[in-house]
Amino acid sequence: MALAVAAFGIGTSEFIIMGLLPNLADSFQVSIPKAGILVTAYALSVTVGSPVVALATARLERKRALLLLLGVFILGNLACAAAPTYNMLFLARVLTALSHGAFFGIGSVVASNLVASNQRAQAIAIMFSGLTLANVLGVPAGTALGQAFGWRASFWAIVPIGLIAAVAVFWLVPRQPKVSSELIHEFRVLRNPRVLLVLAMSVLGSASLFCVFTYIAPTLEKVTAISPHGVTLVLLLFGIGITVGNLAGGALSDWRPMRFLVMSLLALLLALTCLYFAEPFAVPMVVSVLVWGALVFAAGTPLQARIVEQASAAPNLASTLNQGAFNLGNASGATLGGALLTAGFSYRQLPIASGIVTVCMLVLALWSAHLDRKHRVALEAGELTLG
C-alpha cells in the first residue's frame, strides 16, 4: 500500500498532462500536437533513462533506491511548476521521468517478494492501483485545479503528494536484501525470446492506449462537444475503468495469464470499434471510454508479472526495462497520434490506428503462448528422460 501511495503521485504527474494539454498549448502559444510532445519527452526519458538509473542504483538497497527516486520525482515537479518557458517545462518533464521507470521496476520486485509466488500478479496490481487511482482522483482533480487556477497549480499540488509518498515508503516498506550480482551482467536476460516478446507487447499495448488518450481532451471537446468541466468528469470515469480493469486483471492473471491476455485483447479490439462509432455522441462516448480504459489496463496487468517470472535471474533490470517498454509505447503512441493529426487526419481516425496496433500485439501474444507450450513440452520431455 505504501508503494501504491507513491505510484499515485507518479501516475498523477505522468497523466495530468493529457487533461492540461489545451491549457498548455494556450499558455505557451503552441499547437496541440506540439504540446503533445511533452508526453513523448516524458515517455522517452523513461525509456532511455530507466536502464541508466537502474545501473546507477544497482548497489543500493532497494528501499533506499526507492527513496532516492522519490526525491528526484519531487524536484522534477517543483521544476515543472516553476518553468517559465515551453523548453524549460520540456526539460523539467524529462527530469521528472527519470524517477518513473526505475521506481516501478524496483517496486514491482519488492511487491512480488512480499507475497507467495501464486499471488505476485495481485501484489503488483495493488501497487499499480495507485497509478490507476491517480486517474480516478489525481488527474481529474489536477485538471480541474489547472482550469481554475492555471496549469502551474496542478504541478504545485503534486509536490506534497510526493512528500507523503516518501514518508510512507520510509516507514512502511521493509528493508530489502541487496542484489548480489552485478546488474550489468543481467543484460543476458535479453537473449531470452520470451522476455523480448513481453517487452514488445508492452510497447504495443501502451502505444495503442496513448495514440488515443494523449488527445482525449481535445477529442472530447471538439468531436463529442463536451465542455472542459465535462472532460474532467470523463477522465474521472476513465480512471474508475482502469482501476477496475487493473485489479481484475491482477486477480485473473494469476489463474491463466496468457489465455486472459488474448481474451482481453480481443475484447479491446471490440471496444476500440465502439469508441470510433461513439465519438460524436456524448453518452455512448462516455461509456465507451470507461470500458476501453478497463480493458486496456486489464490486458497490460499480466505483462509486469510475466516479466518478473520470465526473468527471475534478473528481476530488477527486466522489470525496469519493461517500464521503459511501456513508456516507449507511450511516446510511440503519442507521436503516431500527433503525426496523423498533423497529416490532416481527424481525431476520429485515432481509434482506428490504435486498433491496428492492438492487432499487432495480439499476434505477439499468440506467438508468446506458442513458445510457452513449446517450453512446457521441452521440460516434460526432460523430466521423462531423467525418469
Asked if residue 278 has pLDDT above 80, the reply is yes
What pLDDT score does 386 carry? Answer: 41
The domain locations on the chain are: 2-386
Angle between helices 193-213 and 257-278 (to 10 degrees): 20
- Whose cell is 505477439? That residue is 364
Asked if residue 77 has pLDDT above 50, the reply is yes
Span of 136-150, 157-171, 209-223, 353-367 with lowest mean pLDDT? 136-150
Asked if residue 384 has pLDDT above 60, the reply is no
**3-state SS, one letter per residue, for 290-320:** HHHHHHHHHHHHHHHHHHHHHCCCCHHHHHH
* 106, 66 Cβ separation under 8 angstroms: yes
pLDDT band of residue 380 (cuts 50, 70, 90) is low
Residue type, 88: M
Mean pLDDT of the chain: 85
What pLDDT score does 48 carry? Answer: 84
Asked if residue 263 has pLDDT above 70, the reply is yes
* Residue 107: alpha-carbon gap to chain centroid: 14
- Report the run of H or E that residue 84 belongs to, with start and end: none
How do residues 137-193 score in pLDDT, each as one tens digit?
887 888 889 888 989 999 999 999 999 999 999 998 888 766 555 555 566 767 788
253 CB burial (10 A radius; 0-12, 13-18, 19+): buried
DSSP SS3 for 346 = coil
Name the superfamily (CATH) of residues 2-386: MFS general substrate transporter like domains (1.20.1250.20)
* 249, 122 Cβ separation under 8 angstroms: no
pLDDT band of residue 352 (cuts 50, 70, 90) is very high
Length of the chain: 387
pLDDT band of residue 110 (cuts 50, 70, 90) is confident
What pLDDT score does 185 carry? Answer: 59
pLDDT band of residue 280 (cuts 50, 70, 90) is very high
Asked if residue 14 has pLDDT above 80, the reply is yes
What pLDDT score does 37 carry? Answer: 86
What pLDDT score does 387 carry? Answer: 39
C-alpha separations of 5 from 26, 122, 131, 138, 168 in Å: 32, 16, 9, 11, 7
Single pTM value for the model? 0.76
Query: Percentage of the chain with pLDDT > 70?
Result: 92
What pLDDT score does 78 carry? Answer: 95
What pLDDT score does 206 carry? Answer: 92
13 CB burial (10 A radius; 0-12, 13-18, 19+): buried
* 373, 367 Cβ separation under 8 angstroms: no
Mean pLDDT computed over 208-233: 89
How do residues 33-67 score in pLDDT, each as one tens digit?
888 888 888 888 888 887 888 778 777 888 888 99
